[in-house]
Amino acid sequence: MHEFSIACEIFEQVLATAKAHGATEVKSVTLQMGRLSHTNPEQLSFCFKAIAEDSIAENSDFLVEMLAPSLECECGYEGTVNEKQIRESDTLTSELLAYVAAIECPICGGQARIVGGRDLIIKSIEIETEEDQTTDSNNN
Amino acid sequence: MLMHVIHMGHDVYKANDKIAEKNRKKLDKHQVFSVNIMGAIGSGKTTLIEEAIRQLKDKYKIAVIAGDVIAEMDSSRFRKLEVPTIPVNTGKECHLDAKLVEKALGEIDLDNTELLLIENVGNLICPVDFKLGEHLRVVVVSVTEGDDIILKHPMIFKTAELAIINKIDIADAVNVDAEKMREDILSLNPNVPVILTSKHDWESLETWIDFIELGVKKAQKR
């Protein structure tokens, strides 16, 4: 269980960025989480909401986009794990095990190296500012 | 009121990875070989480290980082063997991270260290996501954890560079097939060396100790 400390780190980063852009409220936080990361999205969301109480992020939506693991093989193949194929498989019970077992190169059948899929990225935040607030070029 | 979307792209784990890289460079500069020993509570990590210290301390200068929720117990076991030991209390955290190791490295005389043994917190899940800057990632699993433990925790075995199946002398008593455990590890990570050990079988421990010594010798040639 390390979701709490990760949620603290996310909260600090989100708040610093929001304040630097003159936010009065954080409306949403969007994360990208690799499926091979050992972080539980529901627990992370719970922890974030607990930490964000009484802050400008108190009522923000906490959105998590899951990322498929990406692979590289010695034969030159680069790509992501075939998620559709995994969902159709009923022989493997654990979702995580399904991903790890699937990490063989679809071209040569060799063991492909995991190069992505353990990430945890704060992709973006949606904020509200006062009318006359000047912000950078990321305005919607 | 105006709405804005701010793109951040801040990778939470990369922040740890960057500190891990710094740790690695520091260790390389001092020609220190470092081993991150991971595994569940009760798998035998501390005992395997003690054996390595006993066999290698007259040949090499050893230091230990003992990570635990409360690290004092294991630290005192290592100190009895007269090696410098830094206890790292992780408090509520279930793993060591690069920052904690960076701080511990500051307390170690690296000019007088050739081998650094890092005992991670007993856990098969959380340590996987946190690189420390180590040269060798070891996972220790004991037969008492059941022979389905490996497939339940695939990532730690997938990313390990050495796997140890420990306490094999009591495999029959706990109705576990150690060979099945070996096969499961190899199905996840076909090229990883797997060692079967028991603290009552000196030869099995020798393989573990040889493996470390090989790393120390390589580090000294860098």
Q: What percent helix, strand, coil does chain B show, rounded to 5? A: 45, 25, 35
| Chain A residues touching residue B151 (CB < 8 angstroms) | 94, 97
Whether residue B177 is contained in a domain is answered as yes
Residue A123: give its domain's CATH number: 3.30.2320.80
Whether residue B6 is contained in a domain is answered as no
Of A97, A119, A135, the CB nearest to B11: A119
Query: Best mutation site among B3, B7, B11, B12 for testing chain A: the one with the most A CBs within 10 Å?
Result: B12
Q: Which of A48-52, B68-72, B123-127, B168-172 has the lowest mean pLDDT?
A: B68-72
Whether residue A65 is contained in a domain is answered as yes
Residue B125 above 50 pLDDT? Answer: yes
Residues B1, A128: Cα–Cα separation, whole Å: 6
Residue A17 belongs to domain spanning: 3-129
Whether residue B158 is contained in a domain is answered as yes
pTM of the model: 0.83
Whether residue B100 is contained in a domain is answered as yes
Percent of chain A with pLDDT over 70: 79
Say how many domains are in chain B. Answer: 1
Report residue A35's pLDDT band, with 50, 70 and 90 as the boundaries: confident
Q: Taking a C-beta distance cutoff of 8 angstroms, is the pair B162, B138 a contact?
A: yes
Overall average pLDDT of the A22-35 stretch: 95
What is the chain A residue with the closest CA to B127?
A38
Phi and psi at residue A117, to the nearest 5°: 125, 0
Residues B168, B205: Cα–Cα separation, whole Å: 12
Average pLDDT of chain B to the nearest whole number = 94
Beta bridge partners of B63: B116
Q: Which of A42-56, B83-97, B201-215 has the lowest mean pLDDT?
A: B83-97
Residue A134 above 70 pLDDT? Answer: no
Whether residue A32 is contained in a domain is answered as yes
Task: Flag whether residue B91 sits within 8 Å of chain A, measured between CB atoms.
Answer: no
Of B9, B13, B125, the CB nearest to A118: B13
CA distance A2 to chain B (A): 6
Whether residue A36 is contained in a domain is answered as yes
Residue B177 above 60 pLDDT? Answer: yes
Residues B108, B88: Cα–Cα separation, whole Å: 13
By residue count, chain A amounts to 140
How many inter-chain contacts (A to B, CB under 8 Å) are there?
A: 107
Say how many domains are in chain A. Answer: 1
Residue A101 above 80 pLDDT? Answer: no
Residue B88: give its domain's CATH number: 3.40.50.300
Task: Flag whether residue B5 sits within 8 Å of chain A, measured between CB atoms.
Answer: yes
CB atoms within 10 A of CB A48: 22
Whether residue B5 is contained in a domain is answered as no
Of B4, B92, B190, the CB nearest to A135: B4
The pLDDT of residue B144: 97
Residue closest to B95 by CA, chosen among B143, B165, B156, B166:
B156
CA distance A87 to chain B (A): 18
Of A118, A122, A140, the CB nearest to B4: A140
Q: Taking a C-beta distance cutoff of 8 angstroms, is the pair A44, A7 a contact?
A: yes
ipTM of the complex: 0.77
CB atoms within 10 A of CB B88: 23
Task: Judge: B129–A139 Cβ closer than 8 Å, yes or no.
Answer: no
Task: Judge: A39–B129 Cβ closer than 8 Å, yes or no.
Answer: yes
B32-88, pLDDT tens digit by residue?
Answer: 999 999 999 999 999 999 999 999 999 999 999 999 888 888 889 999 999 999 999
Three-state SS annotation for chain A: CCHHHHHHHHHHHHHHHHHHCCEEEEEEEEEEEECCCCCCHHHHHHHHHHHHCCCCCCCCEEEEEEECCEEECCCCCEEECCHHHHHHCCCCCCHHHHHHHCCECCCCCCECEEEECCCEEEEEEEEEECCCCCCCCCEC
What is the chain A residue with the closest CA to B125?
A38
Whether residue B8 is contained in a domain is answered as no
Task: For residue A43, give both structure tokens.
Answer: 């627990």
Overall average pLDDT of the A102-120 stretch: 81
Q: Identify which has the larger pLDDT, A42 or A86.
A: A42
Residue B169 belongs to domain spanning: 14-221
Percent of chain B with pLDDT over 70: 100
Overall average pLDDT of the A86-92 stretch: 54
Residues A23, A129: Cα–Cα separation, whole Å: 5
Task: For residue A29, give both structure tokens.
Answer: 């936080």
Query: Best mutation site among A65, A81, A100, A130 for testing chain B: the one with the most B CBs within 10 Å?
Result: A100
Report residue A139's pLDDT band, with 50, 70 and 90 as the boundaries: very low
Overall average pLDDT of the B144-157 stretch: 93
Whether residue B207 is contained in a domain is answered as yes
Residue A85 above 90 pLDDT? Answer: no
Whether residue A135 is contained in a domain is answered as no
Whether residue B35 is contained in a domain is answered as yes
Overall average pLDDT of the A17-44 stretch: 93
| Chain A residues touching residue B183 (CB < 8 angstroms) | none
| Chain B residues touching residue A118 (CB < 8 angstroms) | 13, 129
